[in-house]
Amino acid sequence: MRGQDYRTDLLEDLRKDRKDAAAYLTAAARDSQEALLVALRDVAEALKGIGPLAAETGVNRENLYRALSGAGNPRLSTLGSVLSALGMSLSVNLKQSFNERRPTRTTKRRGLMNKTSAHLKKAQPRRGGRA
């Protein structure tokens, strides 16, 4: 019975505030893919219910239950349609440790391109001036 009370309270909290639901998904995503899928199922149940969500997204209800399980392996398009139906979207952020890495060839090249662009702007003749 205690687990039922926790789940009921969780779904009620997720239903009350979409910002809390988004924070719950973000925390689950940081933990693992499995945790994210189970959390997305919790949010889906709280905000819409799996049946109505399946109808809205065009995904079979049983397939949606399977996709949003710890062992699920949904397509990106399925995740996108579920998140969209819930009024949310997926975003990508850099890991903290990524900023500490050495510059790559691409970032060095981008820096060179910026320097070249600034140099070319200085070298362009001004309007009405001499070439």
User: Each residue of 67-106: pLDDT tens digit?
Assistant: 999 899 999 999 999 999 999 999 888 877 766 666 666 6
Residue 34's contacts (CB-CB under 8 Å, 6 or more residues apart) are 70, 71
Side-chain half-sphere of 87: how many Cα atoms within 13 Å? Answer: 9
Q: What is the DSSP letter of 69?
A: S
Please report which confidence band the pLDDT of residue 107 belongs to, taking 50, 70 and 90 as the band edges: low
Residues 6+ apart with CB under 8 A from 53: 44, 64, 82, 85, 86
13 pLDDT tier (thresholds 50, 70, 90): very high
What radius of gyration, in Å, describes the C-alpha atoms of the chain? 24
Which pLDDT score is estimated for 5? 87
Residues 40 and 64: their CA atoms lie apart, in Å, by 11
